[in-house]
Amino acid sequence: MSIYLKFSGCLLAAALAAAPLAAIAEPPPTFTPATAGPKAPDPQGFLQRWLLLEPITKPNRSNTGFTGTYVRQALTTPYFPDQFGTVPRNGQTETVAGTPLTWHAVDTNLFDVKLFNFAQSLGKPTYGVIFWAVTVVDSPREMANVRLAVGSNSASMWWVNGKEAAGLFGDRRMVMDDVVSPPLTLHKGRNIVRGAVINGPGLSDFCVRFLDANGQPIRDITLTTR
Amino acid sequence: MKLFTAIGAALLLALPNAAGAQLAGEPFIHDPSTIAYSDGKYYTFGTGSGGLVSEDGWTWHRGGERPGGGVAPDIIHIGERYYVVYAVGGGGMNGGHASNVKVMWTKSLDPKSPEFGYHDVGIVASSNGKEDQDAIDPAFLLAKGHLWLSYGTYFGYIRIVELNPKTGQRVAGNKPVDVAIDMEATDLMYRDGWYYLLGTHGTCCDGPNSSYNIRVGRSRSPLGPYVDNMGVPLLKGGGKLVIAGRGRDYGPGHFGLLDLGDGVEKFSMHYESDMDRGGRSVLAISPLLWKDGWPVAGENLAPGTYEIQSERSGGALELATDFVRIAFDFRRSFSSPAGAELKPIPNQTLAQDSTMWPSGPIAVDLGDYMIRPHQQWTITPVPEAGGAFGAPYYRIGIAGTDRVLAATAENTVVAQPAFTGAAEQLWRIDQLTDGTYRIMPRQPLHSTKPVVLVAIGASSPVLEPFNPAGDSGRWTFKKP
């Protein structure tokens, strides 16, 4: 059992005394700064290059309150200027409720983007937060009838070229291809994918890829952050 | 978890057991271990000290002793030892994610046994609080001479390590292997060359708002890669559903295999919330089926009226009475006068069928199912008579009558005129792994040669030991 996802005040957790441990080792990093050149998706088509904004504090003691209504309201609230507009620059700062937050252009070596680790590595809050993520997909041609396939922990919303593509509501675990969007079109050239993930307690991460009309991952695209 | 002992047991004992699928007694537990048999009783331990004990797998009471505290233990019986594994630390916010998985052993689980007494083996796995791992919820698997241990939660990876089955210690030099994400409360099974990793998805610890459900993936190697029925790796969040909440029971989690032998497999779990017991977390036992190489939850037989059909012959269990024709001109089957009204014809009534039935006991045989009242049996749980391994004893009676199926001293079956509640009129109905059922009269649980209802001929039912290799002891219940 794991109660961290739900109850900050669970009697069980409070009663458990941590046992003596061996020397604590830092986990290996899963992120590196995004390189200058374009990046292809991984062999399964997962997008591994993102601009991530340091987490916005949004306290939630439980993830069970992530109804569609709540999440939609929480993730469409304006937090910073041009939130749904241009692609931010690496190092750009947004001020949210008086707190400066910085965009980081990163590559991940995993299929998923571990937001918890991202925040933890920066010494930022990991629980009760909203993460914003943006990537730029460069398509070699117009691709019709493709679908955005998303998994996230916990709830999230996703937009492609400014249009809402997917919403993952409720207390979500991250499962690949959990929610698949209606068919959409990737323009030839630059396409902007934008997402926001909200989490109460527990780990948070997401995985995103595009599927073609046959459900196969699309790999002949590249990713940039500009 | 202190809450688990707070409510008066007397009140709970008085609660109705209307569903017939819920265990009797005070089966209150969270994170139950695999059920283990020791000294004539069945034990399971949960989070916190102690656990539950039962003599029949149906009625459970508080009992057993498990020192060490911590959470979510598991038990395995190897040779003379019962190894118990549990975790101290981790599990969440206040506990953080730094935890140790510890093993101890005893030769008996019965605190009254002279063989009872725990011996500490020590720490076999850990998480350091910073890595993507939370070393709790351990579970054993002994397969092909190797002792495996899975552990972990949603906080990062589920991992597997190998232990020495002779000592319970970690095999020297063994490294943990990541096998899944987005799971907790894992367990392992081995069957027909496949390793199965079961785990719980969803939310725990929130009563009827818990979305716990049990999932599975499989692999040819104990160390993975495990994938689900769609080929989605468990390392990418996959998992085929085994069981979700249903009826009055919400949030199943913490799978534990209960192999009763002879092709009867069940599994233990807890429901996060039993709505008939104030929403408390309870132990549950359900049949385990196998379909196309995947484990799925079966169901206890639902009360109702059925044809009881032999898998051997297709014959219907019936009173051996004279056949009564339904008044019918056979020529109507082929033609009717032009413009004739096609009126519905009622089925034969009990009164029409039973005209010639003797008042005393009536022999029982098998015959072609003719949709006749003497072939239709009403199955009624009799929870006040107890039960076995997750199912209550049942009364099996001819629908609309007092007549009930009974075992005889000669190992035959007969329909007696009235239900008395005697043991020979109580039936244990276990769903088998193929979805059919085994029907056996109430008898001592540990009989050396338990008997079940068997079609020894196409039309002849008797009571004989069960042969899992054939269909003669398998039955299905069909809506009449």
What pLDDT, in 10s, does the model give residues B373-401? 999 999 999 999 999 999 999 999 999 99
Find the mean pLDDT for residues B157-169.
98
B120 with B51, same domain: the answer is yes
DSSP B456: S
**B100, B132, B206: residue with CB nearest A27:** B132
> Given this model, what pLDDT does residue B92 score?
67
Find the mean pLDDT for residues A162-188.
96
Rounded to whole angstroms, the Cα distance separating B158 from B183 reads 7
Residues of chain B contacting residue A42, judged by C-beta atoms under 8 Å apart: none
Residue A164 lies in a domain: yes
What is the residue-averaged pLDDT of chain B? 92
> Given this model, what pLDDT does residue A80 score?
96
Pull the structure tokens for residue B419. Answer: 């239900």
Residue B335 lies in a domain: no
Number of domains in chain A: 1
Residue B103 lies in a domain: yes
> Given this model, what pLDDT does residue A1 score?
57
Encode B360-389: b = buried (16+ Cβ within 10 Å), e = exposed.
eebebbbbebeebbbbbbbbbbbbebbbbb
Banded model confidence at residue B303, pLDDT cuts 50, 70, 90: very high
* Closest residue on chain A to B252 (Cα): A1
**A17, A25, A175: residue with CB nearest B237:** A175
B289 with B308, same domain: the answer is no
Whether residue B88 and residue A16 make contact (CB cut-off 8 A), yes or no, is yes
Examine the pLDDT at A10 and tell me if it is beyond 50.
no
Higher pLDDT, B421 or B129: B421
Banded model confidence at residue A2, pLDDT cuts 50, 70, 90: low
CATH number at residue B394: 2.80.10.50
B365 with B452, same domain: the answer is yes
Banded model confidence at residue A13, pLDDT cuts 50, 70, 90: very low
Asked if B90 has any chain A CB less than 8 Å from its own CB, the reply is yes
B39 with B158, same domain: the answer is yes
Asked if A16 has any chain B CB less than 8 Å from its own CB, the reply is yes
Examine the pLDDT at B10 and tell me if it is beyond 90.
no
Q: How many CB pairs below 8 A link A and B?
A: 166
CATH number at residue B239: 2.115.10.20
Query: Over B54-111, what HEC string results?
Result: ECCCCEEEEECCCCCCCEEEEEEEECCEEEEEEEEECCECCCECEEEEEEEEECECCC
Q: Best mutation site among B203, B229, B241, B273 for testing chain A: the one with the most A CBs within 10 Å? A: B203
Asked if B184 has any chain A CB less than 8 Å from its own CB, the reply is yes
> Given this model, what pLDDT does residue B89 score?
85
What pLDDT, in 10s, does the model give residues B428-439? 999 999 999 999
CATH number at residue A33: 2.60.120
Residue A109 lies in a domain: yes
B272 with B384, same domain: the answer is no
B181 with B314, same domain: the answer is no
Taken in order A21, A24, A28, A31, the sign of the CA dihedral is positive
Examine the pLDDT at B157 and tell me if it is beyond 90.
yes
B273 with B311, same domain: the answer is no
Residue A6 lies in a domain: no
Residue B275 burial by CB count (10 A; 0-12/13-18/19+): exposed, middle or buried? middle
- Three-state DSSP class for A1? coil
What is the residue-averaged pLDDT of chain A? 88
> Given this model, what pLDDT does residue B95 score?
57
**A7, A19, A153: residue with CB nearest B88:** A19
> Given this model, what pLDDT does residue B281 score?
96
Find the mean pLDDT for residues B212-226.
98
Residue B334 lies in a domain: no
**CA nearest neighbour of A224 among A45, A91, A88, A114:** A88
Examine the pLDDT at B72 and tell me if it is beyond 70.
yes
Asked if A201 has any chain B CB less than 8 Å from its own CB, the reply is yes
Rounded to whole angstroms, the Cα distance separating A218 from A143 reads 10
> Given this model, what pLDDT does residue A6 score?
31
Asked if A42 has any chain B CB less than 8 Å from its own CB, the reply is no
Find the mean pLDDT for residues A146-173.
96
Residues of chain B contacting residue A207, judged by C-beta atoms under 8 Å apart: 236
* Of the candidate ranges A77-81, B128-132, B281-285, B470-474, the one whose mean pLDDT is the lowest: B128-132
* Of the candidate ranges A78-92, B6-20, B95-109, the one whose mean pLDDT is the lowest: B6-20
Contacts of B39 (CB under 8 A, 6+ apart): B108, B109, B110, B113
Q: Are B105 and B88 in contact (CB under 8 A)?
A: no
Residue B338 lies in a domain: no
Amino acid at site B450: P
Asked if B100 has any chain A CB less than 8 Å from its own CB, the reply is yes
Banded model confidence at residue A21, pLDDT cuts 50, 70, 90: very low
Encode B164-179: b = buried (16+ Cβ within 10 Å), e = exposed.
ebeebebeeebebbbb
Q: Which domain holds residue B463?
A: 304-325+347-478
Q: Which domain holds residue A78?
A: 11-224
Whether residue B30 and residue A1 make contact (CB cut-off 8 A), yes or no, is yes
Examine the pLDDT at A77 and tell me if it is beyond 50.
yes
B309 with B440, same domain: the answer is yes
Whether residue A22 and residue B128 make contact (CB cut-off 8 A), yes or no, is yes
| pTM of this structure | 0.90
**Which residues of chain B from 248 to 277 reach within 8 Å of chain A, CB to CB?**
253-254
Higher pLDDT, A23 or A43: A43
Examine the pLDDT at A22 and tell me if it is beyond 80.
no
Asked if A22 has any chain B CB less than 8 Å from its own CB, the reply is yes
Whether residue A16 and residue B238 make contact (CB cut-off 8 A), yes or no, is no
* Of the candidate ranges B86-100, B163-177, B311-325, B353-367, the one whose mean pLDDT is the lowest: B86-100
Give the highest mean pLDDT range of A157-161, B47-51, B448-452.
Answer: A157-161
Residues of chain A contacting residue B201, judged by C-beta atoms under 8 Å apart: 173
Rounded to whole angstroms, the Cα distance separating B86 from B49 reads 11
Asked if A151 has any chain B CB less than 8 Å from its own CB, the reply is yes
Examine the pLDDT at B6 and tell me if it is beyond 90.
no
**In degrees to the nearest 10, what's the CA dihedral of B205, B210, B214, B215?**
-110
Cis peptide before A154 (omega within 30 of 0): yes
